[in-house]
Amino acid sequence: MTILESHNSINGLAHHKPLKIAILLNSYRSPFIHEIRDSYVRSLSQVAHHPDTQLSFFYPADNYKQENDLPDLSRDEYDLIVIGGGNADPRKKHAWILRVHKFILDTVKNYPRQKICGICWGHQTIGMLFGGEVVDLEFPELGVTEAALTPLGQKFFSSQHHHHRKGHGSAHGGGAKRVLSLQQHHRRALGTAPKGFYELLAGNQAFVSHNNAILTFQGHPEKDARCAKLRVADAVRWYSLSKGGGSEGEVGSSESEEEERVTVLGRVQRDMERQHDGVEVWGRVLDWVKEPTSGASHEIHHGVGMHL
């Protein structure tokens, strides 16, 4: 089911045209899908320039085979399409995943000026479709982490380009920004860069396409601590912290494992509560939406179709 939501912006600049944003939430049977949706609403409402900004949510993993599982670009126009996070491996061949892949590739081919933003699963999926390799991480990432901006990334996020700064931490020292802090929640990443993209964050953490139509982030600008902490228990599974790991009668071992579990969960929760640049990133994304594209999509078309 497609949910349309319009929310007042705290900036309320009425002279700006309201944006229409389509957001694909790619989590299969997630018990937190509504909370994830609400985190987008909370974060974007802080930087949207018009009270009538419209967010249209799509759920391709759960609404597969329904008419409204994906945006219909032949009927509706969007200023931005967000390919959001997901809880499935983007390398899998599930029907709904392949359908999202096809939607992305068809959009790039048929609407080369359409602005697309990939987040986490979306970042990995777009990167993979255009020649990058998705790899499993030895140590999954949970909580707010810093990533270094490349020289181009520093220019992209410089103060002359946008006005959504929060003025905190090492990400906001004097002069150009050098790092971005974002919520992370992933156990896979791009091991190699996609073709036809410039790197904005070191370590394949963010890219912008050569034609300026596609922007991707491994981190989650939409997630605040409230949303991130809903999944703090993933640390138990991802870091092998489940109870009862010791043999029967090994009391000391069980107590030690429980202490480790409590310690790690506490650290992850504190990391999720750290200050981050999510709202600032959204501000820059919405500014970028208004920037022109070259309209020349051939630079990234040589990767099209390789995973379908």
Give the residue ranges of DSSP H helices in 3-143.
33-45, 95-110, 121-129
Other CB atoms within a 10 A radius of the CB of residue 192 amount to 13
Confidence bin at 302 (pLDDT 50/70/90): very low
Residue pLDDT, tens place only, 194-205: 999 999 999 999
| CATH homologous superfamily, domain 3-229+269-301 | Class I glutamine amidotransferase (GATase) domain (3.40.50.880)
Q: Which SS3 state, helix, strand or coil, does residue 66 take?
A: coil
pTM of the predicted structure, to 2 decimals: 0.85
Q: What is the rounded distance in angstroms from the CA atom of residue 49 to the CA atom of residue 7?
A: 11
Amino acid 247: pLDDT? 44
CA-based nearest residue to 139, from 47, 239, 68: 239
Task: Select from 99, 90, 41 the least CA-distant residue to 67.
Answer: 99
Q: pLDDT tens, 210-257? A: 999 999 999 999 999 999 999 988 888 888 766 554 444 454 567 788
Residue 306 burial class via C-beta count within 10 angstroms: exposed 0-12, middle 13-18, buried 19 and up: exposed
| Distance between first and last Cα of the chain | 26
Question: Tens of pLDDT along 156-188?
Answer: 998 545 555 444 434 444 467 899 999 999 999
Please choose, from the candidates 97, 31, 32, 35, the residue with its C-alpha nearest in 3D space to the C-alpha of residue 61. Answer: 97
The DSSP H or E segment spanning 141 is strand 134-148
Distance CA 19, CA 288 (A): 12
